[in-house]
């Protein structure tokens, strides 16, 4: 018989969770991490014009749009996403996105915390952050921690 570890329930109220400035733009609020479970779950607040280069992850990645408008590219296909829309991109599939509305809020979901070292290396605590976009820091974290592969420039 396999022994199963029992984890404690996790409740995060609105606005609660570890807040970090992501050097690609946006404020990440961690709702679940490796400290709680083997699921990565974070809320991200972004502003118009925030973009990502084409990239892949070693695990699937999902995004649930809570507010705003996002232009999402998967391979060569573009999709307009708005509040309530959801996208799941399998591991290894190139994707990118661009925030089209003045602000946007999404819930990011990964089925494991394998990419968590990348996100922590590519961000800093929000409190005291100058909130500078720095893609060199993202590339360095990818090189040091894995979790993402940049496969092309922004397609927008």
Kindly report the CATH number that applies to the domain delimited by 18-152: 2.60.120.10
pLDDT of 156 strictly over 80: yes
94 contact partners, CB below 8 Å, separation of at least 6: 54, 55, 56, 74, 75, 151, 152
How high is the pLDDT of residue 49?
97
How high is the pLDDT of residue 3?
66
Nearest of 81, 139, 140 to residue 107 by alpha carbon: 81
Would you place residue 2 in the very low, low, confident or very high pLDDT band (cuts 50, 70, 90)? low
Task: Quote the pTM value.
Answer: 0.91
């Amino acid at each position: 018989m396999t022994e199963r570890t029992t984890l404690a329930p996790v409740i995060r109220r609105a606005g609660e969770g570890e807040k970090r400035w992501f050097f690609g733009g946006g404020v990440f609020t961690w709702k679940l991490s490796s400290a709680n479970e083997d699921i990565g779950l974070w809320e991200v607040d972004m502003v118009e014009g925030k973009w990502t280069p084409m990239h892949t992850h070693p695990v699937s990645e999902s995004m649930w749009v809570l507010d705003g408008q996002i232009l999402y590219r998967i391979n060569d296909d573009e999709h307009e996403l708005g509040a309530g829309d959801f996208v799941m991109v399998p591991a290894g599939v190139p994707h990118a996105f661009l925030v089209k509305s003045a602000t946007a809020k999404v819930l990011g979901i990964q089925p494991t915390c394998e990419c968590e070292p990348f996100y922590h290396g590519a961000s800093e605590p929000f409190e005291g952050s100058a909130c500078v976009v720095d893609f060199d820091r993202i590339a360095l974290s990818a090189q040091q921690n894995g979790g993402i592969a940049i496969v092309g420039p922004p397609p927008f």
